[in-house]
Amino acid sequence: MKLTFYGAAQQVTGSMFMLELADGYQMLIDCGLSYERKQNLKDNANFTFDPETIDLVIITHAHIDHSGNLPTLIKYGFSGQVLCTMPTMYLMEQLLFDSAGIQAGKLKKGHKQNDERKLFGYKEVQKTIERVVTISFNQPFEIKNGLSVTFTEAGHILGAASVVIEVAEQNKSCRIGFTGDLGTDNNCLIVPPNPMKNLDYMVMESTYGSRFHKDMESAEDILLKHIKASCVDKPGRLIIPAFSIGRTQAILFTLNKLFRSGRLPKIRIFADSPLAMSSSAIHDKFIEYLNTEAKAFFTEYHTLFDFKQVYAIEDREEKEELNLTGSHLESMIIVSSAGMMDGGRIQEHIKNNIQNTLCTVLVAGFCTPGSLGYDLMQGKSTVAINKRELSVYARITSTDTFSAHPDQTGLLSYFGKVKKAGHLKKVFLVHGEAESIEIFKDKITETGFENVVVPKRAEYFFLD
Ligand SMILES: [Zn+2]
Cβ of 400: how many Cβ atoms within 10 Å? 19
Pairing mode, strands 141-144 and 147-153? antiparallel
User: Residue 50 in contact with residue 153, Cβ under 8 Å?
Assistant: no
User: Residue 201 in contact with residue 194, Cβ under 8 Å?
Assistant: no
Q: Alpha carbon of 261 to those of 89, 136, 240, 269: distances in Å?
A: 34, 35, 22, 17
User: Residue 196 in contact with residue 424, Cβ under 8 Å?
Assistant: no
Mention every residue, 6+ apart, whose C-beta is less than 8 A from residue 406: 182, 183, 184, 185, 193, 208, 413, 414
Q: Alpha carbon of 389 to those of 143, 374, 384, 385, 408: distances in Å?
A: 54, 16, 4, 6, 37
Question: How far is residue 206's CA from residue 431's CA, in Å, rounded to a whole number?
Answer: 6
Question: How far is residue 399's CA from residue 427's CA, in Å, rounded to a whole number?
Answer: 31
Question: How far is residue 364's CA from residue 373's CA, in Å, rounded to a whole number?
Answer: 10
Task: Output the pLDDT for position 11.
Answer: 75
| Dist. CA 110 → ligand 1 center (Å) | 32
pTM > 0.85: yes
Q: Which domains does the chain have, with CATH numbers?
A: 2-211+404-462 (3.60.15.10), 219-398 (3.40.50.10890)
| Dist. CA 183 → ligand 1 center (Å) | 9
| Dist. CA 181 → ligand 1 center (Å) | 5
| Dist. CA 156 → ligand 1 center (Å) | 7
Task: Output the pLDDT for position 101.
Answer: 87
Identify residue 443 by its one-letter amino acid code: K
| Dist. CA 229 → ligand 1 center (Å) | 30
Question: How far is residue 443's CA from residue 440's CA, in Å, rounded to a whole number?
Answer: 5
* CA nearest neighbour of 241 among 323, 315, 333: 333
| Dist. CA 12 → ligand 1 center (Å) | 10
| Dist. CA 405 → ligand 1 center (Å) | 8
| Dist. CA 377 → ligand 1 center (Å) | 21
| Dist. CA 59 → ligand 1 center (Å) | 11
Torsion of CA 201, 203, 208, 212, to 10 degrees: -20
| Dist. CA 121 → ligand 1 center (Å) | 23
* Backbone torsions φ then ψ of 27, nearest 5 degrees: -120, 140
224 SS3 class: helix
| Dist. CA 184 → ligand 1 center (Å) | 12
Question: How far is residue 249's CA from residue 320's CA, in Å, rounded to a whole number?
Answer: 24
| Dist. CA 64 → ligand 1 center (Å) | 8
* Backbone torsions φ then ψ of 18, nearest 5 degrees: -115, 130
| Dist. CA 13 → ligand 1 center (Å) | 9
Q: Which long-range contacts (CB under 8 A, 24 or more apart) does 119-123 make?
A: 119/41, 119/42, 119/44, 119/45, 119/69, 119/71, 119/72, 119/75, 120/71, 120/72, 120/74, 120/75, 122/97
Task: Output the pLDDT for position 263.
Answer: 97
| Dist. CA 252 → ligand 1 center (Å) | 19
Question: How far is residue 75's CA from residue 21's CA, in Å, rounded to a whole number?
Answer: 25
| Dist. CA 413 → ligand 1 center (Å) | 19
- Residues facing 322 on adjacent strands: none
| Dist. CA 47 → ligand 1 center (Å) | 22
Question: How far is residue 32's CA from residue 63's CA, in Å, rounded to a whole number?
Answer: 8
Kindly give the confidence (pLDDT) of every residue in the chain, 464 residues in length, as a single tens digit, with 9 standing for 90 and above. 999 999 877 777 789 999 999 999 999 999 998 876 656 777 888 888 999 999 999 999 999 999 999 999 999 999 999 999 999 999 999 999 998 988 887 655 545 445 556 899 999 999 999 999 999 999 999 999 999 999 999 999 999 999 999 999 888 899 999 999 999 998 989 999 999 999 999 999 998 998 888 877 899 999 999 999 999 988 899 999 998 888 999 999 999 999 999 999 999 999 998 888 899 999 999 999 999 999 999 999 999 999 999 998 876 666 666 665 555 568 899 999 887 888 788 988 999 899 999 999 999 987 877 889 999 999 999 999 888 899 999 999 999 899 889 999 999 999 999 999 989 999 999 988 888 899 999 999 999 999 999 999 889 999 98
The beta strand positions in 30-160, using DSSP E, are 56-58, 81-84, 132-134, 141-144, 147-153
* CA nearest neighbour of 167 among 299, 56, 308: 56
| Dist. CA 63 → ligand 1 center (Å) | 5
